[in-house]
Every structure is written in C-alpha cells, then in structure tokens.
Amino acid sequence: MADVARLAQVSQQTVSRVLNDYAFIKPDTRERVLKAIANLDYRPNMAARTLATSRSRTIGVVASDYLSFGPASALFGVEQAASEEGYGVSIVSLRESNRLTIAEALARLVGQSVEGIVMISPQDVSAGAAFLSFENVPVVTLSSVDTGEHTSIMYDSVEGSRAATQHLIDLGHKWIAHLAGPAGFTVSESRVHGWRKALGAAHLVAPDPYVCDWTAESGYVVGKQVLSDPRFTAAYCANDRIAQGLLLALYEAGRVVPRDFSVVGFDDVPEAAYCVPPLTTMRQDFTKLGRRCIEALMARLNGEPPQEADPLLPVLIQRSSTAPAPV
Amino acid sequence: MADVARLAQVSQQTVSRVLNDYAFIKPDTRERVLKAIANLDYRPNMAARTLATSRSRTIGVVASDYLSFGPASALFGVEQAASEEGYGVSIVSLRESNRLTIAEALARLVGQSVEGIVMISPQDVSAGAAFLSFENVPVVTLSSVDTGEHTSIMYDSVEGSRAATQHLIDLGHKWIAHLAGPAGFTVSESRVHGWRKALGAAHLVAPDPYVCDWTAESGYVVGKQVLSDPRFTAAYCANDRIAQGLLLALYEAGRVVPRDFSVVGFDDVPEAAYCVPPLTTMRQDFTKLGRRCIEALMARLNGEPPQEADPLLPVLIQRSSTAPAPV
DNA sequence: GCCAGAATTGTTTGCGCAAACAATCCTGTT
DNA sequence: AACAGGATTGTTTGCGCAAACAATTCTGGC
C-alpha cells in the first residue's frame, strides 16, 4: 500500500480512502491511485483490514455431517447472498452432531472472528447449542426450533405436511401411512403433526408413524413393514429419499404405483421427477432459504433484534405417484 | 492477550509462546497461563496472527454452480482433512463457470490470503483458469486435466468407464449405447474414451455417443432417442443421474430392466441402490477424493513440487439393472 | 476581495500478535 | 567454585491497514 501511495504521489491514507470509497476524493487523485494499484497489481491485505477495523467481513457456516441436496443447496444460497453483500464464507462441517462438536465448531468460527453464523444443521441439538452464541455473534439456524435467542429460517413444515396429506385425502385415501423423519429433528415432529392435523380434520385414523432416518435405505426397509399392513393405500413420506426407498419396496412387492398405492414425498429433489414413477412431492427452494438466512443475518448485524421471519410455504408438485384410491 | 499476561504474571510474549506450543516453557508457567486463558475466556485473534505471521491457515475452495452429491461430498472431505491439519476453509461458489468468473473467484480467495486453493469445479475451463494461479498460491483441482502447473486429483475415468462397459460386454451385449456427459468436461471425454476402448477390444461397433448434461432430465430425454434404435440392448451412462432418467424412459416405453435392457451408471450416488431397479454402477468415493486434495495441497505447502497422484479406481457395484443380453 | 464552511489530503497512532534479539536462570561439569 | 551451554523469560519492533485528528485547499456568497 505504501508503494501504491508513493507511485501515486499521495499518502498511504489516501490510498486507503480510495479503496474504501470515501466520498471526498478528487477524481484526478482517485484515478492516479487506481492506476497505481493496477500497475503494481496491489491487493489489500484482509487480515490487516480486519485487525484495524475489527470487522472480518466473513460469515461462518456450520454444515451437518451429510451434505445432501437440501443443505448443499442452502449452502449455495448462503454463499451467493453473502458474496453479494461483500462477505466471505467460512465453513466448518460436523462429523456428528452433539453439543460438544457443535460448540467446538462454533468456537472455531468465532476464533476466525466471523461476524455471524448460519447453522445448516437441522438437528435440534444444533439449535440448542446455538444458545452458546459466543461474544455477540448472531446465529441464524435452518432448524425450526424457535428459541428467541437467534433467528430461525424455515419452510412451514406443518402446513406443507398437512397439504401433502390433504392431497391424498382428496384422492379418496382413507388409510395413509407416514414414513417419518428420525427423532432429534423438530422438522420430523412438525411433519408428523401436519399429517395428523389433516387426518384429524378428515376424521380419519392416524396410525403410529413409521420412523425412518431420511435415507432411501430406511424408506425401503421401513416401507416393507408399511406394506405388510394391507389397509394402507397411500403413504406420505417425510422426504423424497424415503419416498424413493418406498417406491422400490412397492416395486419389489408387485404393487403398482399409483394404481395400487399412492406416494407423496417432500423437498422435490432433482431426482424426484425421475423416479419410477415420477414422485408427487412438496417443493422447497433451499437456495432461497439460504439467501434468507443471510438477509436475516444482515438485519441482525445492523442491530435489529432477532425476529421471526414468516415461514415459506412448500408447493405441491403433482406427478404420477398419486392417484385416486383403489375401490 | 495482555490481560492474560498480567493475570498470569508473565510477559505477553510468553502467553504467545504457550499458545504456539513453544518447547521451553516451565510446566508451572504454562499452567498459570492456561488457567488465566481459561479464566478470561481468552480467544486469540486470528487476523492479528495472520498479519504477524503472514500465514492465514486457511485454504480456499471454489465450488461449481451445482453442488450435487459428488462435489458436495468432496467439499466435505476437503473440510474434514483441512480441519485435521489445522486449516480453516473458505468457500466461493460459481454461478456459472467461465474464465472470468473463475478468475474472480480465485482473486477473492487470494484476497483473503488463503494459502492454497482446491477447485471442486470439474469444468475444463476451471483447470485452464487455474493457470492464473496468483502469487504462488498452489492450486489443486478435481478436474482431470493435467497441466503440470497444478496438481490434479481424480479417479481413473477411462479405466472405470472401460470396466463398466466390459461388464456389459461380459453379459453378452453387442450394441451398447453411451449416454455421455456434456462438452467442456474432460471427464466426459475420458468416459467416452473408456467406453470406446472396451468396445474396440471386443470388436464391437462404437456408435456415436448420445450427449447429455449430467441431469436426470437429459438422461430421460436423450434416453428416448436411444430407445428408438432397437439394436441397443444396453447403455452405459456417464453418471447415475443420467442413468436414472434413462430408467424412467425405459419404464415408460414398457421395456423391462434388466430383462429387455441393461443399464450401468457411474458414481454410486446414495440413490443408485434405490432406483427401480437398483442400479449397477461404478463407485467413487468423493470424500476420499476431497481428502486427497488436501494431502496434495499440504505437500505443495511444504515445498514439494506438483506431482501426479496415482488415480483412484472406481469399483463396479453390481445391482439388478444389468443382466445377460436377451437372446 | 474576503470569509465561512465544505472539500480534500496528510500525520500520527494503535489494532493483536509473533519474530528477533536480549537477558536471566538453571544444570552438570571440571 | 567457576563456567559452558542450554533452558526459560522478557523487551522491542513491525506486520498492513483504518481511525482520529490536523492541516490545507477550494467554493460560493457577500
């Protein structure tokens, strides 16, 4: 920077001002400085800037152990939005999620003096650990747990779930199984809740949900149990991967979808449209979700208090895995 | 840090030494310092450390526009390995990949004074742009382009592709289509090459490959064209998502897999095992790939010259989408 | 032509840390 | 008992930048 100043025949501080878009610089001077910068291929040193301003212009992301489509897309959205705001993104991933690992991850990010943190780790424990929220670093989570301590960005799982189930009810299904997400995720509970809500409103019986773990494998294994109960003519799955596993179980059992059995998923991952048969599902835009996280974080960085964002609504995408109930 | 020093009754430099595991510290002193650190909940300021040492202990990652399973897993592996080496990870994503956006992304990372860069963007143009390799920051790429300027980590696509095709040949298939990846990816070419190689060795005709774009959609659309040629009894797809699209096209055409038609994919994404029917494919471990990137980067940071790593070999995973050719 | 106030540039200082050098304190040895 | 050489700690300095304050130059209005 000193070299640039010398070449442009100004003080080092003026160079700094040009770099920071200070308003009162003579156009002539600015140009000289810019030319000098270009000539010397000068690049400002972020570390020094951070040290001097105590603003790192970096936000941290905690990613869960498995970067599936949703989290990965959210990460993408976070990075895009952050970079538009002039922020860099530092990422820490979790092998497993418990209070200790999460606290450690947060500590590492705070150690890098990030200005804010986004947790793309949907486990409840993440939201809990976010309480640890160090040193006034605001935390935004994708989890649906509302603690008041940090902002939470999410889709409305209860309503999405209700709508998915209602779609099956509208098709005349009376016995609708739910292949649920695992314990430890509020979103699992929300989806169970929405399913029960729709069933209750239609005066249908809500059997015990079948608990899966978000994977296609669990959807397949648990799906076989579901199919052993002949009363079910439809199932609503907590995500598309579970649904895909169920589709395979149905195929192997010789049950034709949607003639004999209807399936609804959740998320609308890119593969959903190319399942056999293409999957009816509730679409969520994870990239937008990631962007919202940054919006919320920016608001917090501007001193606004944590506030509830209106949840987004998943959209029903009808494909050919659902049809009227067999008579 | 000064506060810690005062509380522990030592100089600030001694605190610094404790923090940096300097060898000659009296155990007693070290303990006093550590206690003071704990009491004050002191956290070192990375920016200051970076400024003083001109080592950021950060590596940068350039991620391509779509974080599908492979890149996401690789990112995960990179982060894990980097954190084990005591490095943080900064990420920049690309909306689209061309020389300009890539140069920009690299510049942003260099601006954050990362010590090394991993490009998880498989386009050829990435490898090309890596030439821009600023200021002695070593670059490692996942692309298979070998430039000598930077290290490239990859699976052996040619051999994997050959093995996949050979599997179909062994099953007695004579007309084997290839649903290829798009132009601009060396890996696309490698897979075409391996497919041709196997076909040539078996004295079979290699028709023109059908070009897709890695998506299930393209596999579906292009798949219909493939199926319009009745000679084909099998297809080798450049990735699992293309294969999944093809499976849907086969289903809709009433062709039963694997009785009428065999399909092989590439990657072994988690969904592959739960396609209808489960997909035979070539498994790659992307997480390991990511780890290798960091290994290579660490070697470079230790002053070793860029060197060719021996490529990893994808493993054939046989499932039920392949069977002997119909007679 | 003179002045208030704005525009423009310069000077000094400190952010938090580790490198370089210096000083002191040990230990076993002769 | 005096000393070499290692062990242990302290002091000074600068990394590259922006904040705070100071100085100078310009502008329009009278």
pLDDT, tens digit, 9 for 90 and up, residues B217-266: 999 999 999 999 999 999 999 999 999 999 999 999 999 999 999 999 99
pLDDT over 90 (residue A131): no
Write the CATH number for B39. 1.10.260.40
User: Please, which positions of strand D sit below 7 A from a protein CB?
Assistant: 7-12, 14-20
Mutate to test the interface with B, among A65, A221, A271, A291 (most CBs of B within 10 A): A271
The amino acid sitting at A167 is H
For residue range B95-140, list pLDDT tens digits in order. Answer: 888 888 888 888 889 888 899 999 998 787 776 665 666 667 888 8
Shared-domain flag, residues A30 and A115: no
Average pLDDT over residues B28-47: 91
Q: How far is CA A317 from the centre of its chain?
A: 20
User: How many A×B Cβ pairs under 8 Å?
Assistant: 152
Percentage of the residues of chain B whose pLDDT score is greater than 70: 95
- Rounded CA separation A295/A298 (Å): 5
Considering only CB atoms, which chain B residues are within 8 Å of A271? 216, 241, 244, 271
Within B13-143, strands assigned E span 58-63, 88-93, 116-120, 139-141
Of A79, A90, A241, the CB nearest to B271: A241
- Identify whether residues A73 and A138 lie together within a single domain: yes
For residue B46, give both structure tokens: 């990375």
Interatomic CA distance for residues A123 and A100, integer angstroms: 13
Q: Is the domain of A94 the same as that of A170?
A: no
What pTM value is reported for the model? 0.92
Give yes or no for B83 touching A (CB within 8 A): yes
pLDDT of residue A23: 84
> What nucleotide is nearest A52 when CA is compared to C1'?
C15
Alpha-carbon distance of A93 to A111, in angstroms, equals: 15
Range of the domain at A251: 157-284
Q: Smallest CA–C1' separation from A32: which nucleotide?
A: C9
Instruction: Flag if A110 and B76 touch (Cβ within 8 Å).
Output: no
Beta bridge partners of B152: B141
Mean pLDDT of B206-212: 97
Average pLDDT score, chain B? 91
CB contact under 8 A, B248 and A276: yes
- Is residue B301 domain-resident? no
Which chain B residue is nearest to residue A277, measuring alpha carbons?
B248
Domain match, A162 and A279 both: yes
Binned at pLDDT 50, 70 and 90, residue B146 comes out as: low
Contacts of B44 in chain A (CB under 8 A): 111
What is the nearest CA distance from A104 to chain B, expressed in angstroms?
12
Instruction: Identify the burial level of A305 via C-beta atoms within 10 angstroms of its C-beta, where 0-12 means exposed, 13-18 middle and 19 or more buried.
Output: exposed
CATH code where residue B102 lies? 3.40.50.2300
Residues B185 and B87 in one domain: no
User: What DSSP string describes A31-91?
Assistant: HHHHHHHHHHT----HHHHHHHHS---EEEEEE-S---HHHHHHHHHHHHHHHHTT-EEEE
Q: Is residue A325 part of a domain?
A: no
- CA contacts within 13 A on the Cβ side of B235: 38
Is B136 in contact with B80 (CB distance < 8 Å)? Answer: no
- Single-letter code of the amino acid located at B77: G
Q: Which nucleotide is nearest to A47 (CA to C1')?
A: D16
pLDDT at B186: 87
| pLDDT higher than threshold 90 for residue B82 | yes
Same domain, B119 and B209: no
Is residue A132 very low, low, confident or very high in pLDDT (cuts 50, 70, 90)?
low
Helix or strand or coil: residue B52?
helix
Q: Residue B137: its pLDDT value, please? A: 86
Q: Are residues A86 and A128 both part of a single domain?
A: yes
- Separation in Å: D5 C1' and B57 CA: 36
Place of tokens 């905690």: A62
Residue A73 pLDDT > 70, yes or no?
Answer: yes
**Residue A190 forms part of a structural domain:** yes
Nucleotide nearest to B42 (CA to C1'): C16
Q: Are residues A91 and A198 in the same domain?
A: no
Instruction: Name, of A253-267, A307-321, B297-311, the range with top average pLDDT.
Output: A253-267
Handedness of CA B222, B224, B228, B234 (dihedral sign): positive
Q: CB within 7 A of strand C: which residues qualify?
A: A 9-14, 17, 22-26, 28-30, 48, 51-52, 54; B 1-2, 12-13, 16, 19-20, 44-45, 48-49, 51-53
pLDDT digits (tens, 9 = 90+) for A15-69: 999 999 888 888 888 999 999 999 998 889 999 999 999 899 999 999 987 778 9
Q: Are residues B126 and B172 in the same domain?
A: no
Chain A interface disruption, residue of B213, B271, B291, most A CBs within 10 A? B271
Tell me phi and psi for residue A43, to 5 degrees. Answer: -125, 125
CA distance A47 to chain B (A): 5
B100 and B211 part of one domain: no
Structure confidence at residue B128 (pLDDT): 66
Q: Which of A102, A118, A152 is the endpoint of a domain?
A: A152
The tokens 């290994």 sit on which residue? B295
Which of A108, A134, A152 finishes a domain? A152
Q: From the C1' of D6, which residue's alpha carbon is nearest? A: B24
Residue B209 inside a domain? The answer is yes
Report the Cα–Cα distance between both ends of chain A, in Å, rounded: 79
Number of domains in chain B: 3
Q: Which nucleotide lies closest to B49 by the C1' atom and the CA atom?
A: C17
Is the residue at B182 inside a domain?
yes
Would you say residue B236 lies in a domain? Answer: yes
- Listed by number, the residues of chain B in 280-319 with a beta carbon closer than 8 Å to a beta carbon of chain A are none
Contact between A63 and B50 using a beta-carbon 8 Å cutoff: no
Is the residue at A289 inside a domain? no
Q: What is the pLDDT of residues A135-186, one digit of tens each?
A: 678 888 886 555 556 678 889 999 999 999 999 999 999 999 999 999 988 8
* Strand C footprint nucleotides (protein C-beta < 7 Å): 7-12, 14-20
pLDDT at B136: 78
Residue to mutate among B91, B120, B224, B251, with most A CBs inside 10 A, is B91
What's the pLDDT band for B196 if we cut at 50, 70, 90? very high
Å between A286 CA and nearest CA of chain B: 12
Cβ atoms of B61 and B126 within 8 Å: the answer is no
Q: Which H/E stretch holds residue A93?
A: strand A88-93
* Nearest-neighbour CA in chain A from B14: distance (Å): 20
Please report whether residue A321 resides in a domain: no
Is the separation of the CB atoms in A60 and A90 below 8 Å?
A: yes
Same domain, B129 and B145: yes
Report the distance from CA of residue B15 to the C1' of nucleotide C28 in Å, as an integer. 30
Q: Which of residues 146-185 of B touch A (CB under 8 A)?
A: none
A307–chain B nearest CA distance, Å: 28
- Same-domain status, B197 and B174: yes
Model confidence at A126: pLDDT above 80 = no
Nucleotide nearest to B14 (CA to C1'): D9
